[in-house]
A and B are shown apart, each in its own frame.
Chain A
Amino acid sequence: MSTEHTLKDEIGDAREHAHVGVPPQHVTRALLIFYAAALLFNATSLHEQARLMPYGPWRDVCVAISKPFAYVSTWTGLSKPREWIENKIN
């Protein structure tokens, strides 16, 4: 067995010493933009998944939440890239 590999995140440590990174507020902003954009790009698919869930109150909630996003996504054309890739693969 090797005794060379270590327990620490050596890559992370090296990058920390090199002061690589951004302030936490920057990460929060990027994450919120990511969630908003990812939601709009994939809203029609999410709505479709919600509709395929077993009948019950949880399905109703998911369908109700995803419906307006799916509408906006279709109306703005943001659902098109995913549909295009899926059609190409199929």
Chain B
Amino acid sequence: MLFPTTVFAVFYLIVYLGHRRLVQRSAIWKWFILTASYVFYGYWDWRFAGLIALSSIVNHALGVTMHRTSHESRRRLWLIFAVVFNLGLLGFFKYYGFFSIQLYVLLSRVGLAWSPPLLDIILPVGISFFTFQAMSYVIDIYRRELEPTRTVLDFALYLAFFPQLVAGPIVRAKVFLPQLDHIGRVDRIDAGRGAVLILTGLFKKIVIANYLSAHIVDPVFSQPEAYGRLDNLFAVYGYAIQIYCDFSAYSDIAIGIALLMGFHFPLNFNAPYFAGSIQDFWRRWHISLSTWLRDYLYIPLGGSRHGSFLTYRNLFLTFLLGGLWHGAAWTFVAWGALHGAYLMVERMGRKLINPSPSLFWRGVRLVAVFHLVCLSWVFFRAETFEDAWYMLRQIAMDATPSEWITPTLLLALAVGWCTQFLDGDRLRKAWDRAGTWPAWAQGLAAAIVLTVILALGPKGVSPFIYFQF
């Protein structure tokens, strides 16, 4: 079920009205929201709902067992079991095919003719997201930063809560569970912020991301050798804006619809292309993933505590695995490796960079960071390394005149870039103003804005890019 569709609109209205009616009766409300979340998830394929139910039961049981065990080595064993279970689930559904092929290639190179059985596995939507949420839950219990939920129902609801289920933000249990306990007592809703987030998200997805995808990104990336320098270059710029508008739109809508129900989710994007360094970029891009990788991978690896060499290694490894998290392909690993390398070099040269440069140098850094990120997007978006190299070669060498660059495309790129001004709390005055209007004016204004968005966008909506991860 995609957010910007009629089916989801009807689904959300029913769920919202049920939520309002049942929210004072905690147990029934939880069952109702859990059922709704499973319907939302099962709409793709009912078997996926069984998978998330299995993950909920096993992780809850492991959390409770770990919490009750006082013996440190046993707790550690349970933790290892939990991590192996979660990574095993993710590995089987997401990476089995990829690693089977790699193993086959490796064995055939050393003269062994054995191939692992190839299975026709469907990748469950959002598995990377809910697996990371489940892992953060058990690891936090192991670290004694969190107590397990009283019932499996609470944990299942945390894992399956529909606004953030399929593409994040990756909400931590210690952020979500306390809200679950107090949801019946929420007496004020930040409706202005919620509505503005939903509408700006719909605008970014329906108007900008869909337009860029159809009018330059998809055609050029599918056949980079057929186009010249400018088309390839603008396809890369287009993809940078498209992926931002697409993914941040999902987060905005998720945060907005949860907010209307009384839940607060953390910010996931904060004007990433305004970043003055790669480190700054990762403070602004997919914040819930970068904080997850920091807390559950980088710091356990040793972080920056054991000298320069190990810090660089930890940074690089974290981003390499972060790349692999996005998908089972070497191009994603290359994307992660590039970001790891950028951060290493940036850290090495930190003393050389003036921390408070003039406006001119801040602009230069912003442009440089944007282009480094764009370079990494080439590998992220390309189907194969060959395509990526073709694209880079065309940008460097082919001076064929452009076919795709039109004033509308430039406008879409500029508007898409400017939507970053809507991130964070830059729109708080608009939220406050919208929040003070009477209900009829709010409803009518939102309907008018939605109508304009739908009229500007193409017929039909393509899935969000991050659904594949």
Interface residues, chain A, with chain B CB atoms under 8 Å away: 1-16, 19-24, 26-38, 41-42, 45-46, 49, 81-82, 85-86, 89
Chain B residue at smallest Cβ distance from A33: B443
Chain B residue at smallest Cβ distance from A40: B447
Cβ-defined contact, B16 with A31, below 8 A: yes
12 new A-B contacts at CB < 8 Å, known A27-B260, A82-B455: A1-B282, A1-B290, A6-B291, A7-B288, A15-B190, A19-B188, A26-B191, A26-B439, A30-B191, A30-B440, A36-B447, A37-B444
Contact residues in B for A10 (Cβ distance below 8 Å): 266-267
Q: Is B13 an interface residue (CB 8 A)?
A: yes
* Band of interface residues on B: 35 or more
Cβ-defined contact, A16 with B291, below 8 A: no
Residues 333-358 of chain B, each 1 if its beta carbon lies under 8 Å from chain A, else 0 = 00000000001000000000000000
Cβ-defined contact, B266 with A82, below 8 A: no
Q: Is B20 an interface residue (CB 8 A)?
A: yes
Cβ-defined contact, B443 with A31, below 8 A: yes
* In the complex with contacts A9-B265, A22-B188, A27-B260, A2-B279 CB distance below 8 A: yes
Q: Residue B13 contacts which of A9, A35, A89 (CB distance < 8 angstroms)?
A: A35
* In the complex with contacts A28-B17, A41-B451, A21-B267 CB distance below 8 A: no
Q: Residue B425 contacts which of A4, A11, A21, A28 (CB distance < 8 angstroms)?
A: A11
* In the complex with contacts A2-B282, A41-B447, A33-B440 CB distance below 8 A: yes
Contact residues in B for A6 (Cβ distance below 8 Å): 266, 291
Cβ-defined contact, A5 with B447, below 8 A: no
Cβ-defined contact, B6 with A27, below 8 A: no
Cβ-defined contact, A22 with B191, below 8 A: yes
Contact residues in B for A24 (Cβ distance below 8 Å): 20, 186-187, 189, 262
Interface residues, chain B, with chain A CB atoms under 8 Å away: 6, 9, 13, 16-17, 20, 172, 174-175, 186-193, 195, 255, 259-260, 262, 264-267, 279, 282-283, 287-288, 290-291, 293-294, 298, 303, 315, 318, 343, 424-425, 428, 431-432, 435, 439-440, 442-444, 446-448, 450-452, 454-456, 459
Chain A residue at smallest Cβ distance from B194: A27
**In the assembled complex, how far is the CB of residue A53 from the closest CB belonging to chain B, in whole angstroms?**
11
Contact residues in A for B293 (Cβ distance below 8 Å): 1
Question: Which of B190, B259, B294, B450 has its CB near the most chain A CB atoms (within 10 A)?
Answer: B190
Contact residues in A for B450 (Cβ distance below 8 Å): 34, 38, 41-42
Contact residues in B for A86 (Cβ distance below 8 Å): 455
Contact residues in A for B451 (Cβ distance below 8 Å): 38, 41-42, 81-82, 85
A10 to B268, CA, bound (A): 12
**In the assembled complex, how far is the CB of residue B406 from the closest CB belonging to chain A, in whole angstroms?**
14
Contact residues in A for B283 (Cβ distance below 8 Å): 2, 4-5
Contact residues in A for B17 (Cβ distance below 8 Å): 28
**In the assembled complex, how far is the CB of residue A11 from the closest CB belonging to chain B, in whole angstroms?**
5
**In the assembled complex, how far is the CB of residue B305 from the closest CB belonging to chain A, in whole angstroms?**
12
Cβ-defined contact, A16 with B446, below 8 A: no
Cβ-defined contact, A20 with B260, below 8 A: no
Contact residues in A for B447 (Cβ distance below 8 Å): 33-34, 36-38, 41
A10 to B186, CA, bound (A): 17
Chain B residue at smallest Cβ distance from A81: B451
Q: Which 4 A-B pairs have the closest CB atoms?
A: A33-B443, A37-B447, A21-B188, A85-B455
Contact residues in A for B455 (Cβ distance below 8 Å): 81-82, 85-86, 89
Q: Residue A41 contacts which of B6, B294, B448 (CB distance < 8 angstroms)?
A: B448
